[in-house]
A and B are shown apart, each in its own frame.
Chain A
Amino acid sequence: MELSYTVAVLIIPVFMFLFLGIVGVKLSKKTAGILGTLAMGVTTVIAYAAAFTYFFGTEQGQVIDGVRQQLTVLDLTWLEFTKNLVIKIGVLLDPISAMMLIVISTVSFMVHIYSLGYMDGERGFQRYYAFLSLFTFSMLGLVLATNIFQMYIFWELVGVSSYLLIGFYYTLPAAVSASKKAFIVTRFADLGFLVGILILSFYTDTFDFISLTSDPQAAISTAGGATFLGCSVMTWALTLIFMGGAGKSAMFPLHIWLPDAMEGPTPVSALIHAATMVVAGVYLVARLFPIYAVDVTALEIITVVGAFTALYAAAVACVQSDIKRVLAFSTISQIAFMITSLGVASPELHHGVGYMASMFHLFTHAMFKALLFLCAGAIIHAVHSNEMSAMGGLRKYMPICHIAFLIGCLAIAGIPPFAGFFSKDEILVAAYAKSPIWGVWLSVVAGMTAFYMFRLYYKIFWWNNPDYGHHTPHEAPMTMTFPLIFLGLVSIVAGFIPFGEFVTSNREVYEIHLDWTVAGTSIAIAVVGIALATVMYRKENNLPEQLANRFRGLWTAAYHRFYMDELYQFITHKIIFARISKPIAWFDRRIIDGTMDLLANVTNSASFAVRRMQSGSVQTYVWFYLVGAVAVAVITIICLI
C-alpha cells in the first residue's frame, strides 16, 4: 500500500534507542545528540509526509462519500491468545492518528533541538537522547495502534519512558521519588485499563479498533445485558478503560503524579508532560468514541470527572509559586477541558462538535503548552531556580523568550487570533449545546486560566527585579530559541486551520462556524481575567498578599493542592504499608513459618524424649522389660476374661 512507509516512524526511533542505549557511551556527547536529532528529523519528515498524504492524497479509498476512511497500513500478528483474540502490531491511519503524528513529531523534534542547548554538559547526555527516542517510538506506536491491546502495550512503554526521564537526575532523591510516584499511580490506573480491556474483549471477542467502532451498537449488545452491581458490564468496561486514560491524563483524583513529574528535565516536561503523553487519555476516549457515544452513563462519568478536574486544577494553579507547577496544573486543567469536551459530545449535537473541539484543542494546546514549557526551561536555565520569587523583570534580559511566552499566554487565555481561542471556543460551544451548566462552568474556568497565566507572566517578566546574584540572566543559545520561535509562530496561526475539514467524530467534513455569542463571552471573560492579573501583579504591590490573608484558609488549602498528596501519603504509608504489607510479612514469618518451625521443634523434642529410653543402662532396660511384660500379661488376662 502507498502509505506503508509510515512504519518507518516506529522503526527509526526504536533503532536509535537501541543504538544510543548500547553504544551511546562510546560516542561523544555532541555526536550522540546530533545523531538523535537527525534521526528525529527524518522521522518528522516521514510523519509529515504520511499525514499530508493521508489528508490531501488522492489515492483511491481514502475518502469515500465524503467520509475519510480508516486505513490499516500494516498489521502483523504479535501474539495469539485465542483464534480471535490476537494482539497485532500495526499502523492505523485515520484523521486522529494522522493529526497525532504531526503533533508528536513536531514537538518531539523541537524538544530534540532544544535539548542540544538545554542539556549541554549534563552527565548522561547520550542516555537522555536514547530515552527521548524510546519515548517517541512508544508514543507513535500508541497513536498508530490498530487494536486496543497494541495501545495498551505502547501505553505501558510510554509510562516507562516517562519514568526513566522523570528520574533522569537519578542521584536526586526528589527525582527518584517523583518518577516512582508517576509510575505507580499510572500503573494503578492501568490496572483499570487492563480489566476494562479484558471485559470488553471477552464480550466482543476482538481487540481490533475498527471492528469495535464500526458498529458500536452491536459491540455493546454482545454483552447481552449482563450487569454487575447494577451497572451494565459494558459501562463497567468503558469506565475502567477511561480510568486508564484518567491516570495518564492526570484527571482528578489520579492527577497527583503530574506536578511531581516536573522534577524531570524541562524539555521532557514539555514533550511528555504537556504535549503528548498526558493527552493519551483523551486520545484513548476519542479512539473508542463511537462506543462511548452509545453508552451514556460512561460518557456522563467522563464529563463530571473532566469538569471537576478543570476547576480544581485551575484553582490550584492560581496560587502556586513554582513556575513549572503552575504550568503543570494548567496542563491538567486544559486536558480536563478536552476530556469534558468529549464527554459532552454526542453525534446529535452539532454533528458531534465536542469531539472535533477536543481534538482541535489537543492540537493547539500541544503547541502552545510545549512553547510555554520550553520558555520556562529557558528562564530556569537563566536564573537557576524554579521559584517565581527568583524571577521578575526578565523582559529586559530575555526579549525573545518574553515575546514567545506572551504568545503562549495569549493563546492559552483564548484571545483571538491566537490558537487557543478557536479551539477553546469550540469546546464552549459544545458545552453550552449540551447544557448551560457545563457551559458556564467551563467559562468560569477559562477566566481563571487567563488570570493564572497572566499572573505567571507578570511575575516572571514584570513585578520587580530581584537580586540575580553575580551573573545577570541572558538569552538562551540559538538551539533553544529556534524552537521557541517556531512554536510561537505555530501558536499564532494554528487556530486558522479549518480543523472540521480534517477531524470530526464521524470523519465527515464539517464546517466550523464561529458562534459569536459564545466567542464574545469567552473573550470578555479572558479579558477580565487578564485585567485582574494586570492589576494585581504588573508592579510589585501587596494586594496579592492582602487577598491571601483575607482568604487564608482557602489560599492555604489551594497552595497545598487541597491536601490530595497528604491523603495519598496516608493511604499508601499508613494503610497499605503499615496495615497490610507489614502484618502480612509478620504473619508469614511468625504464623506460617512459625508453624513449620513448631512442627520441626516438636519432632525434635519428641526424639529427645524418646532418646532417654536408649540410655545403655541394663537396669533401666530390665525395668522396661518388666513393665512391658506385666502390661502384656494384664492385657492378655483382660482380653481372656
Chain B
Amino acid sequence: MIWSNILIYFVIIPLLMLGGLALCKNIKQVRAVATVGATALMVLAIYLVVAFLGLRAEGNTAEMLFTEGSMMWFEPLNIHLALGVDGISVVMIVLSAFIVFAGVFASWKMDPLPKEFFMWFCLLSTGVFGFFISIDMFTMFMFYEVALIPMYLLIGVWGSGNKMYSAMKLTLMLMGGSAFLMLGILGIYYHSAPEGGQLTMNILEIAQNDAIPHSWQYFLFPMTFVGFGVLGAMFPFHTWSPDGHASAPTAVSMLHAGVLMKLGGYGCFRIAIFLMPYAANELAWIFLTLTGISVVYGAFSACVQTDLKYINAYSSVSHCGMVLFAILMLNTTAMTGAVLQMLSHGLMTALFFALIGMIYGRTHTRDIRKMGGLMRIMPFLGVGYVIAGLASLGLPGLSGFVAEMTIFVGSFQHADMFHRVFTIVACCSIVITAVYILRVVGKLLFGAVQDEHHKTLTDAEWHERLSTVTLILAVAAIGCFPNFFSSIINEAAEPIMRLFA
C-alpha cells in the first residue's frame, strides 16, 4: 500500500494543512496550523535523512529507495503515483522543508487575507514536495504545475509594485516552458520502450529500457531542457525572474527562489539528462554556452541595479546559471557541485529575500539609494544581511564556497579548451559577485543614515529572528560540514554520471 511509504506524507501533510486552514477562524489558528504543519514537515524531512542513511548503511545500494507501493492513476497512459528518492531528492526535500518552515515565520504578520495566503502557500508546498518524491514523469509534471499556478495568485493578490504585470508575465513564461515540457514528456513516453514493449512513464524503467532513438533525442532533449531551463532562469528565458521576485511577497519570493527554481535544475538532470544521455552529450555545448553567459551576465546586471530585490533576482540568474552549467559538465564532481549549489542558493536566497522583506516592511522602500546606515538601527537584520552576502560571494565556512569550489574543480576535469575557457569564465563570477554584494552592503547598511525617519525603526521581532537564524544555521552547517552533504549527493550522482564515462 502506498500509505506505508513515508514519502507520501510529504504530500499529505501540506494537504492536511490546507484543510485545517480552511477551517480556521482567526489569525491565531492560522498561525498555529501553519507552524504545526511546517514543523511536522521539518521533522519528517530529518527523519527521512536518518532513515535513508540507515538503509544505505545497511548496504542497500538500489538507485532509488522508498519505492514501495505505487498506485495506478490512469491506466491507458500507464500513469502511476510512483515514489522514490535518491540522495539528491533527499537533500532537496530537506531544503524545501527548511524553507517552508522559515517562510511561515517570515510571513507571520501577513496582511490582508492571511488564511487564504497560507492556503495557497500550502498548495505550492504540496507541488514542490510532490515533484521531488515522484519518479513518474507525468506525476512530476502534474506536481510541477500544482506548484506553479498558486504563484499567479500569490503574486497577483499579495504582491507589491507592478504586480499584475509581473504575475502574468511569470505565469505565461513558465507556462510556455511547460508546453515544451509536455511535448517532451509525451515524446519520451511514446519511445519509452522498445518496439512492442509496454510504454511507461516511470523514469527508472525508461532509463533501464534506454529505447529512445538518437534522432528523437535530438528533438526531445532541447524540449525538456528548455522547458525546465525556463524555471531554472536560463538565459535568455530568465526575464520573468527579476519582475516576479520584485513583486512577490516575502515568503513567496523565498519559496520561489529557494525551492521552485530548483525544480528547474532538478528536472533538467532527472529527465533531460538522465533519460537522454546521448543527446545530452552531443548538445551540451549549446546549453553550456547559454548557461555560461547566464552566470556572468546575471552578475554584471546585478552590479547596476538599485532595487534590492532586482539585485537578488539577477544574482539568482547568475547562481542558478551555475547550477545548469555544472549539470551540463556531465561528471560526478560537477554534478555534486550543482546539487550543493542548489541547496546553497536555495538557503541563502531565501535568507536574502526574508531579510529584504523585513527591511522593506520597515522602510517601505527597496531602493538602495534611499537607504543607508541601517546597521546601527537594526543590527540583527544588518548582521543577517552581511552573512547572507558573504555566503553569496563564497566565503569559506558558509555554503556558497563549498558549492562553487566543487563545481569549479569538477568542471576543470574536462581537459579540452572549450570547457576550460567556460570554467574560467564562470570563475570570474566570484569577483563580480563580490562587487555587487559589497556595493549593496556598503550602501544599505554602512555609511550615514540617509533618511531621518529610519532612525526610529525597530530591529527584528522573535518570529523574524527565528526565520533568519534557521536559515543562517543551515547555511553554516553546509559550509562547515560539507562532506556530509557532498557524500550523500555524490553517491546519487555517480550512477547517473556513469552514463557519460
Binding site for B on A (CB under 8 A): 77-82, 85, 87, 149, 153-154, 156-157, 160, 163, 167, 170-173, 176-177, 180, 183-184, 187-188, 190-191, 194-195, 198-199, 201-202, 577, 580-582, 584-585, 588, 592-593, 595-596, 600
A226 to B486, CA, bound (A): 32
Closest to B331 in A: A82
A580 to B305, CA, bound (A): 13
Give the distance to chain A from B244, nearest Cβ to Cβ, in Å: 12
Pick from A79, A183, A191, A202: contact of B406, CB under 8 Å: A79
Give the distance to chain A from B380, nearest Cβ to Cβ, in Å: 11
Interchain CB contact under 8 A, A581 and B333 = no
A187 to B429, CA, bound (A): 11
A190 to B395, CA, bound (A): 12
- For residue A585, which residues in chain B have a CB less than 8 angstroms away from its CB? 300-301, 303-305
- For residue A195, which residues in chain B have a CB less than 8 angstroms away from its CB? 424, 427
Interchain CB contact under 8 A, B396 and A81 = no
Give the distance to chain A from B212, nearest Cβ to Cβ, in Å: 30
Q: How many residues of B contact A (CB 8 A)?
A: 55
Interchain CB contact under 8 A, A177 and B408 = no
Closest to B415 in A: A202
Pick from B402, B408, B439: contact of A79, CB under 8 Å: B402
Interchain CB contact under 8 A, B304 and A201 = no
Interchain CB contact under 8 A, B409 and A201 = yes
Closest to B376 in A: A171
Interchain CB contact under 8 A, B375 and A170 = yes
Interchain CB contact under 8 A, B442 and A180 = yes
Contacting chain A: which of B9-17, B109-117, B180-188, B430-438?
A: B430-438
* 8 intermolecular pairs with C-beta atoms under 8 Å apart: A77-B483, A85-B409, A170-B445, A183-B438, A187-B430, A194-B430, A581-B304, A600-B169
Given contacts A173-B447, A195-B427, A198-B423, contact A80 B408 (CB under 8 A): no
Pick from B235, B406, B434, B439: contact of A187, CB under 8 Å: B434
Most buried by A among B173, B397, B428, B435: B435
Interchain CB contact under 8 A, A582 and B412 = no
- For residue B402, which residues in chain A have a CB less than 8 angstroms away from its CB? 79
Give the distance to chain B from A558, nearest Cβ to Cβ, in Å: 30
A85 to B336, CA, bound (A): 14
Majority-rule SS of A interface residues: helix
- For residue B447, which residues in chain A have a CB less than 8 angstroms away from its CB? 170-173, 176
- For residue B406, which residues in chain A have a CB less than 8 angstroms away from its CB? 79, 81
B 152-177 binary contact with A (CB < 8 Å = 1; else 0): 00000000000000000100110000
A77 to B490, CA, bound (A): 15
Give the distance to chain B from A232, nearest Cβ to Cβ, in Å: 15
The verdict on B373 contacting chain A, using a C-beta distance below 8 Å, is yes
A201 to B395, CA, bound (A): 21
Closest to B303 in A: A581
The verdict on B297 contacting chain A, using a C-beta distance below 8 Å, is yes
A303 to B262, CA, bound (A): 49
Pick from A163, A172, A199, A600: contact of B172, CB under 8 Å: A600
- For residue B303, which residues in chain A have a CB less than 8 angstroms away from its CB? 577, 581, 585
- For residue B430, which residues in chain A have a CB less than 8 angstroms away from its CB? 187, 190-191, 194
- For residue A184, which residues in chain B have a CB less than 8 angstroms away from its CB? 431, 434-435, 438
- For residue A170, which residues in chain B have a CB less than 8 angstroms away from its CB? 375, 445-447
A170 to B373, CA, bound (A): 8
Beta-carbon contacts under 8 Å, B229-258 to A: 235-236, 238-240
Given contacts A81-B406, A180-B438, contact A596 B169 (CB under 8 A): yes
- For residue A180, which residues in chain B have a CB less than 8 angstroms away from its CB? 438-439, 442
Pick from B397, B431, B483: contact of A80, CB under 8 Å: B483
Interchain CB contact under 8 A, B333 and A156 = no
Interchain CB contact under 8 A, B397 and A157 = yes
A397 to B412, CA, bound (A): 61
- For residue A85, which residues in chain B have a CB less than 8 angstroms away from its CB? 333, 409
Give the distance to chain B from A607, nearest Cβ to Cβ, in Å: 13
Given contacts A80-B490, A184-B435, contact A198 B395 (CB under 8 A): no
Give the distance to chain A from B334, nearest Cβ to Cβ, in Å: 10
Give the distance to chain B from A181, nearest Cβ to Cβ, in Å: 9
A173 to B445, CA, bound (A): 11
Give the distance to chain B from A144, nearest Cβ to Cβ, in Å: 15
Q: With contacts A79-B483, A585-B304 known, what are 12 further pairs, Cβ within 8 A? A: A156-B401, A157-B396, A163-B438, A167-B446, A184-B435, A187-B431, A191-B430, A199-B412, A581-B301, A592-B239, A593-B239, A595-B236
Closest to A592 in B: B236
The verdict on B487 contacting chain A, using a C-beta distance below 8 Å, is yes
The verdict on B413 contacting chain A, using a C-beta distance below 8 Å, is yes
Give the distance to chain B from A99, nearest Cβ to Cβ, in Å: 25
Given contacts A78-B482, A171-B376, A592-B239, contact A198 B434 (CB under 8 A): no
The verdict on B33 contacting chain A, using a C-beta distance below 8 Å, is no
Closest to B375 in A: A170
- For residue B376, which residues in chain A have a CB less than 8 angstroms away from its CB? 171
- For residue B439, which residues in chain A have a CB less than 8 angstroms away from its CB? 180
Interchain CB contact under 8 A, B395 and A160 = yes
Interchain CB contact under 8 A, A596 and B412 = no
Closest to B430 in A: A191
Interchain CB contact under 8 A, B408 and A580 = no
A195 to B429, CA, bound (A): 13
Given contacts A160-B390, A171-B446, A593-B239, contact A183 B333 (CB under 8 A): no
Interchain CB contact under 8 A, A580 and B300 = yes
Closest to B439 in A: A180
The verdict on B24 contacting chain A, using a C-beta distance below 8 Å, is no
- For residue A581, which residues in chain B have a CB less than 8 angstroms away from its CB? 300-301, 303-304
Closest to B435 in A: A184
A385 to B359, CA, bound (A): 37
Pick from B297, B300, B409, B486: contact of A198, CB under 8 Å: B409
A329 to B438, CA, bound (A): 26
Give the distance to chain A from B420, nearest Cβ to Cβ, in Å: 9
- For residue A172, which residues in chain B have a CB less than 8 angstroms away from its CB? 447
Interchain CB contact under 8 A, A194 and B395 = no
Give the distance to chain B from A184, nearest Cβ to Cβ, in Å: 5
A440 to B272, CA, bound (A): 66
- For residue A188, which residues in chain B have a CB less than 8 angstroms away from its CB? 431
Give the distance to chain A from B104, nearest Cβ to Cβ, in Å: 25
- For residue B427, which residues in chain A have a CB less than 8 angstroms away from its CB? 191, 194-195, 198
Given contacts A173-B447, A596-B169, contact A80 B487 (CB under 8 A): yes
- For residue A157, which residues in chain B have a CB less than 8 angstroms away from its CB? 395-397
A199 to B409, CA, bound (A): 9
Give the distance to chain A from B210, nearest Cβ to Cβ, in Å: 27
A188 to B433, CA, bound (A): 11
Interchain CB contact under 8 A, B483 and A78 = yes
Closest to B408 in A: A198
A493 to B448, CA, bound (A): 47
Beta-carbon contacts under 8 Å, B393-414 to A: 393-397, 401-402, 405-406, 408-410, 412-413
Interchain CB contact under 8 A, B409 and A171 = no
A82 to B238, CA, bound (A): 33
Interchain CB contact under 8 A, A171 and B448 = yes
- For residue B235, which residues in chain A have a CB less than 8 angstroms away from its CB? 592
Interchain CB contact under 8 A, A588 and B239 = yes
Pick from A80, A87, A183, A600: contact of B434, CB under 8 Å: A183
- For residue B333, which residues in chain A have a CB less than 8 angstroms away from its CB? 81-82, 85
Interchain CB contact under 8 A, B297 and A584 = yes
Given contacts A173-B447, A198-B423, A577-B304, contact A191 B431 (CB under 8 A): yes
- For residue A87, which residues in chain B have a CB less than 8 angstroms away from its CB? 405
Give the distance to chain A from B13, nearest Cβ to Cβ, in Å: 33
A585 to B242, CA, bound (A): 12
- For residue A582, which residues in chain B have a CB less than 8 angstroms away from its CB? 304
- For residue A167, which residues in chain B have a CB less than 8 angstroms away from its CB? 446
B 433-460 binary contact with A (CB < 8 Å = 1; else 0): 0110011001001111000000000000
A165 to B289, CA, bound (A): 40
Give the distance to chain B from A126, nearest Cβ to Cβ, in Å: 12
> When A and B form their complex, which 10 residue pairs have the shortest distance between CB atoms, in order from nearest?
A153-B396, A593-B239, A170-B446, A581-B303, A176-B446, A198-B412, A187-B434, A79-B482, A581-B304, A180-B438
